[in-house]
Amino acid sequence: MSEPSLSIVILTWNSRALLEDCLAALPAATAPLAVETIVVDNGSGDDTGVLLARRSDLVVVQNPRNRGVAPGRNQGLRLARGEFLALLDVDTVPAPGAFATLVSELRVSPDVGLVGPKLVGLDGALQYSCRRFPTLLDKVARRLPERFSRALTDDVELRAWDHASVRDVDYVIGACQVMRRAALHEVGLLDERIFYGPEDVDLCLRMHRAGWRVVYVPHAVVAHLERRVTHKLLSMLTLRHVQGLGYYFWKHRYLLTRPTTSVVRRAA
């Protein structure tokens, strides 16, 4: 069997219908690349396993319980054989040519370690998926009424920019990230001490510190559902996210001012 040029890792949990839609979009999104798709089922209680059992074209990892985002994705990354590696959320539908465009950017720019696409809602509305590195103040501001927080969130999310051109950014969110195997090998896998966020920010910051560029590529488009969750699950995930943020700020030794590796000085 020939080696794939791209390995796509999809982590799923109780999301059979979303997984079917995501998988159905991949042939058009990846052509003409040689691709392997790795699905890590993080202990689903629905009939995801039935779907996966029918798909002999997939590499499948079945976990007995939910291990968290970083550990689950790392399982897939360890199995991946491609020169380029993609992390893809289950609630996404990549547009035709999306992955071919992202891989092309990596191939023509050898100093780029990681790229991300333009994310849009199912209605086509832009999602602000490339951002400045967060500070504690940014995170607190997101919990405030919009009239108090808008100036800060506009800056962090680069809202003054039209998001229509290829651009170096601090980070792209983990709904879809494509990276060079050599870059990931240098910086290491996702930090498994982060259960749910901000493992995507941490990875991009480590890329920057190792000398790799992180680039936003708007000509590649991925629809992103941004699922709603139950209040109970939201409370659990919020707690895990706060814990992850605390660890992230401690790990990288900053809190109120952005890391010196930030490539974004202003939101325009």
Residue 236, pLDDT above cutoff 60? no
Q: How many other C-beta atoms are found inside a 10 Å radius of the C-beta of residue 146?
A: 9
Give residue 182's domain range.
6-134+156-230
Q: How many other C-beta atoms are found inside a 10 Å radius of the C-beta of residue 139?
A: 16
Q: DSSP assignment, residue 249?
A: H
What pLDDT shows up at residue 146? 76
Distance CA 159, CA 151 (A): 10
Calculate mean pLDDT across residues 16-36. Answer: 98
Tell me the per-residue pLDDT of 159-204, one tens digit each, with 9 for 90 and over. 999 999 999 999 999 999 999 999 999 999 999 999 888 999 999 9
Q: Look at residue 258 and tell me if it is in a domain.
A: no
The answer to whether the bond into 27 is cis (omega within 30° of 0) is no
Asked whether the beta carbons of 28 and 96 are under 8 A apart, the reply is: yes
Q: Which residue has the tokens 């020939």?
A: 2
What pLDDT shows up at residue 237? 61
Alpha helices in the chain (DSSP H): 16-30, 48-53, 69-79, 98-108, 136-141, 146-156, 181-187, 199-209, 231-252
Q: Look at residue 149 and tell me if it is in a domain.
A: no
**Average per-residue pLDDT for the chain:** 92
Q: Look at residue 103 and tell me if it is in a domain.
A: yes
Q: Look at residue 12 and tell me if it is in a domain.
A: yes
Q: Look at residue 268 and tell me if it is in a domain.
A: no
Tell me the per-residue pLDDT of 114-168, one tens digit each, with 9 for 90 and over. 999 999 998 999 999 999 999 998 888 777 787 777 877 888 999 999 999 999 9
Tell me the per-residue pLDDT of 206-231, one tens digit each, with 9 for 90 and over. 999 999 999 999 999 999 997 654 44
Distance CA 74, CA 67 (A): 11
What pLDDT shows up at residue 203? 98
Tell me the per-residue pLDDT of 80-89, one tens digit each, with 9 for 90 and over. 999 999 999 9
Q: Give the count of domains, the chain.
A: 1
> Considering Cα of 225, then 207, then 250, then 74, what sign does the dihedral take?
positive
Q: Look at residue 245 and tell me if it is in a domain.
A: no
Structure tokens, 188: 């290491």
Question: ∠ CA(246), CA(197), CA(185), 5° rounding?
Answer: 105
Q: Look at residue 183 and tell me if it is in a domain.
A: yes
Q: How many other C-beta atoms are found inside a 10 Å radius of the C-beta of residue 258?
A: 16
| CATH number for the domain harbouring residue 64 | 3.90.550.10
Q: Look at residue 262 and tell me if it is in a domain.
A: no
Tell me the per-residue pLDDT of 63-107, one tens digit each, with 9 for 90 and over. 999 999 999 999 999 999 999 999 999 999 999 999 999 999 999
118: left (phi over 0), alpha (psi -120 to 50) or beta: beta
The helix-helix angle for 231-252 and 199-209 (nearest 10°) equals 20
What pLDDT shows up at residue 191? 98
